[in-house]
C-alpha cells in the first residue's frame, strides 16, 4: 500500500481520507518479524457496542513468498500503527493495536506470475487468550464489580466503567471461559434507571463498561450532514472540515412498525416469578407508558408518541403560505399496545432461601423491576437504523453519540428556503459499530447508528 496520498511527509492530512502507515509488523511463532505494509493492499479494523474485542482483516498481495521466507506457522501476531494530523490545525490521531491472527480464510494464485494473495484475520489478544482458559468460583456483590474482577484476573485488563450499576447478588460461576462469564454478568447488570450496560472495546484499545443512560446523555461528538455539494477550495481548512462532516453514503432501515418490538415485550409484558423455597407464585405486569425510563433515552420521548407535526410552506402566486397539518390520532392498536400484557411473557424461578442476608441469588435482582425494562430497552433501540459511510476519523468510536442532519426530500423552490432540514430523520443517534477501512490509499469509516426515541 502506497504511503502518500493527500498527506504531507510530516503527516498533515489535506483531506480527511488521508493517512500514513507507520508499520504493519507480523511476528511468527519463533519471534521472527517482517513489516508487510508494502504487501497489504487493504485492511480494516472493526469495533462494536456488542463486542468486547476488536477484529482486523488484511488483504495481502505476496510477491516475495512471505509464507515460506518468514515463515508463517499459524500462531502469528500482527501490529498495526496508523497516524496523521487532522488538517493543518487539527489534533494528532493514531491507531496502534496488536492482534492475534485466528484465520487465513482466503488463498489464491492470480494470473499474474510469481504472485499469491491471501487474507489474514485477527482478534484482540485478550479475546485470543480467552479460549485458552476457564474460570469457576464463588461470587458475591455488585455484578459490575464481577466483570471488572474477571477481566483483571484473567487478562490483566482494566475496564473503563461509566454508570452506577445497582444490580447485585451471589452464586457460583460454573466452568466457562472468562469472557462468557463476564457477558453473563453484563446481561444482568443495570443502573438506577434499569438501563442495560454494554461491554465493548474501542479502537483506542480501551475496554468499556458503559450504561445506556450514560451514552444517551453524553455530549454530542459531532454533527454529520447528508449533502452532495462541495463549496470550498480544495486542501483548505474549511474544505477539510466540510468533508469530515459530510455523509458520503447512507442506507436506512426505518423500523417504525411496532409489530416486532411488541413481540419482545417492549410495550407490555407479563412477568411470572416462582419462589421454589417458599412455594409461592407472584406476577408483575409491565406497561411502556408510564413505566419506561424516558430520561435514559436520546430524546426523552416515547416512541408511541406521534412526532410533532411539520408545518410546510406552500408556494401560491409567488408567495409562501403556511398550511398546518394535525398529527394523526393514534390507532386503536397503538392505544391498547401498553395493555397487551400477553404479547410477551417471562418465567423466572427464584429462591429466597438460597443465601442469608441482603445478597440473594442472581435472580433476585431480575425479579424486581429490571427484567421487563431491560427487554424494553432492547426493543426501542432499533427505532431507526442507518448505515453510513463517512470520511475517516480515528476518534469516532462505538458508543459515541452523534447528530445527523438530513435534507427534506422536496424541491426548495417549492416550499421555501427557510428550513430545509428533515426534522423527523435528523437528530441524535448512537454509533453501535464502526468499521475503519483503509483501501486504495484512502481511509473511510462505515458506521451503524441507532436511536431509541423520536426527536422533539
Each residue of 330-350: pLDDT tens digit? 455 555 777 788 888 888 888
Q: Give percent of the chain above pLDDT 70.
A: 85
For residue 226, the tally of other CB atoms under 10 A from its CB is 18
C-alpha cell at 55: 477484529
Residue 260 has pLDDT above 90, yes or no: no
Confidence at residue 346, expressed as pLDDT on a 0 to 100 scale: 86
168: pLDDT confidence band, cut at 50, 70 and 90?
A: confident
Helix, coil or strand: residue 424: coil
Name every residue whose Cβ is closer than 8 Å to that of residue 329 and which is 6 or more positions away in sequence: none
Confidence at residue 263, expressed as pLDDT on a 0 to 100 scale: 84
Confidence at residue 353, expressed as pLDDT on a 0 to 100 scale: 80
Residue range 291-313, pLDDT digits in tens: 899 999 998 888 887 666 555 44
Q: Where are the beta strands (DSSP E) in 14-115?
A: 20-27, 33-35, 40-48, 55-62, 77-86, 92-103, 107-108
315: pLDDT confidence band, cut at 50, 70 and 90?
A: very low
Confidence at residue 261, expressed as pLDDT on a 0 to 100 scale: 85
C-alpha cell at 295: 430520561
Reported pTM = 0.89
418: pLDDT confidence band, cut at 50, 70 and 90?
A: low
Confidence at residue 24, expressed as pLDDT on a 0 to 100 scale: 96
Decide: 394 and 221 in contact? Cβ < 8 Å.
Answer: no
Q: How far apart are alpha carbons 347 and 194 in whole angstroms? A: 19
Which residue would you say has higher pLDDT here, 19 or 417?
19
Confidence at residue 430, expressed as pLDDT on a 0 to 100 scale: 97
Q: How far apart are alpha carbons 360 and 33 in whole angstroms? A: 52
Q: How far apart are alpha carbons 4 and 10 in whole angstroms? A: 10
Q: Residue 319, exposed/middle/buried by CB under 10 A (0-12, 13-18, 19+)?
A: exposed
Render the burial of 114-132: b for 16+ CB within 10 Å, e for the rest.
eebbbbbbbbbbbbbbbee
Residue 322 has pLDDT above 60, yes or no: no
Lowest-confidence segment of 55-64, 237-246, 359-368 by average pLDDT: 359-368
Mean pLDDT over residues 416-428, rounded?
77
Mean pLDDT over residues 74-98, rounded?
93
Residue 319 has pLDDT above 70, yes or no: no
Apex 30 CA angle, 25 and 31, nearest 5: 35
Q: How many helices (H) and strands (E) does the chain have?
A: 12, 25
Mean pLDDT over residues 155-173, rounded?
93
Cis peptide, bond prior to residue 384, ω within 30 of zero: no
Confidence at residue 1, expressed as pLDDT on a 0 to 100 scale: 63
Longest dimension (CA), the chain: 81
Q: How far apart are alpha carbons 104 and 202 in whole angstroms? A: 24
What are φ and ψ of residue 180, in 5° steps?
-70, -40
C-alpha cell at 97: 493495536
Confidence at residue 357, expressed as pLDDT on a 0 to 100 scale: 67
Decide: 305 and 288 in contact? Cβ < 8 Å.
Answer: no
Confidence at residue 316, expressed as pLDDT on a 0 to 100 scale: 44
For residue 410, the tally of other CB atoms under 10 A from its CB is 12
Cβ contacts of 324-333, under 8 Å, gap ≥ 24 = 330/304, 330/306, 333/258
Mean pLDDT of the chain: 86
Name every residue whose Cβ is closer than 8 Å to that of residue 257 and which is 6 or more positions away in sequence: none
Confidence at residue 324, expressed as pLDDT on a 0 to 100 scale: 45
362: pLDDT confidence band, cut at 50, 70 and 90?
A: low
Render the burial of 419-430: b for 16+ CB within 10 Å, e for the rest.
eeebbebbbbbb
Amino acid at each position: 500500500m502506497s504511503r502518500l496520498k493527500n498527506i504531507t511527509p510530516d503527516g498533515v492530512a489535506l483531506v480527511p481520507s488521508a493517512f500514513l502507515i507507520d508499520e504493519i509488523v507480523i511476528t511468527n511463532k519463533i519471534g521472527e518479524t517482517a513489516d508487510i505494509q508494502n504487501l497489504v493492499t487493504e485492511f480494516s479494523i472493526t469495533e462494536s457496542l456488542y463486542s468486547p474485542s476488536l477484529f482486523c482483516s488484511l488483504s495481502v498481495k505476496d510477491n516475495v513468498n512471505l509464507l515460506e521466507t518468514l515463515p508463517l506457522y499459524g500462531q502469528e501476531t500482527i501490529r498495526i500503527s496508523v497516524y496523521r494530523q487532522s488538517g493543518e490545525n487539527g489534533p494528532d490521531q493514531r491507531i496502534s493495536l496488536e492482534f492475534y491472527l485466528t484465520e487465513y480464510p482466503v488463498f489464491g494464485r492470480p494470473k499474474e506470475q510469481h504472485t499469491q494473495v491471501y487474507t489474514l484475520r485477527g482478534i484482540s489478544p485478550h479475546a485470543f487468550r480467552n479460549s485458552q482458559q476457564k474460570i469457576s468460583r464463588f461470587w458475591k456483590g455488585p455484578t459490575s464489580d464481577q466483570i471488572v474482577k474477571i477481566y483483571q484476573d484473567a487478562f490483566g485488563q482494566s475496564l473503563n466503567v461509566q454508570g452506577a450499576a445497582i444490580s447485585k447478588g451471589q452464586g457460583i460461576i460454573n466452568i466457562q471461559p472468562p469472557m462468557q462469564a463476564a457477558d453473563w454478568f453484563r446481561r444482568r447488570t443495570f443502573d438506577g434507571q434499569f438501563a442495560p450496560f454494554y461491554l465493548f472495546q474501542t479502537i483506542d484499545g480501551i475496554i468499556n463498561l458503559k450504561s445506556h443512560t450514560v451514552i444517551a446523555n453524553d455530549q454530542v461528538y459531532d454533527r454529520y450532514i447528508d449533502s452532495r455539494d462541495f463549496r470550498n477550495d480544495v486542501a483548505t481548512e474549511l474544505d477539510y472540515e466540510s468533508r469530515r462532516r459530510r455523509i458520503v453514503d447512507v442506507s436506512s432501515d426505518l423500523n417504525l412498525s411496532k409489530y416486532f418490538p411488541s413481540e419482545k415485550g417492549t410495550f407490555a409484558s407479563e412477568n411470572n416469578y416462582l419462589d421454589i423455597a417458599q412455594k409461592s407464585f407472584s406476577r408483575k405486569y409491565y406497561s411502556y407508558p408510564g413505566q419506561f425510563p424516558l430520561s435514559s433515552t436520546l430524546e426523552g420521548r416515547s416512541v408511541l408518541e406521534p412526532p410533532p407535526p411539520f408545518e410546510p410552506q406552500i408556494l401560491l402566486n409567488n408567495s409562501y403560505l403556511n398550511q398546518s397539518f394535525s398529527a394523526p390520532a393514534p390507532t386503536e392498536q397503538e392505544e391498547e399496545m401498553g395493555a397487551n400484557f400477553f404479547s410477551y411473557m417471562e418465567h423466572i424461578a427464584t429462591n429466597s432461601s438460597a443465601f442469608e442476608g441482603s445478597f440473594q441469588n442472581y435472580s433476585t435482582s431480575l425479579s424486581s423491576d429490571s427484567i421487563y425494562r431491560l427487554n424494553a430497552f432492547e426493543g426501542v433501540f432499533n427505532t431507526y437504523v442507518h448505515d453510513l459511510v463517512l470520511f475517516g476519523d480515528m476518534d469516532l468510536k462505538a458508543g459515541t453519540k452523534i447528530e445527523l442532519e438530513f435534507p427534506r426530500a422536496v424541491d426548495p423552490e417549492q416550499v421555501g428556503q427557510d428550513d430545509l432540514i428533515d426534522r423527523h430523520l435528523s437528530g441524535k443517534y448512537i454509533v453501535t459499530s464502526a468499521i475503519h477501512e483503509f483501501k486504495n490509499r484512502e481511509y473511510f469509516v462505515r458506521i451503524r447508528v441507532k436511536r431509541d426515541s423520536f426527536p422533539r
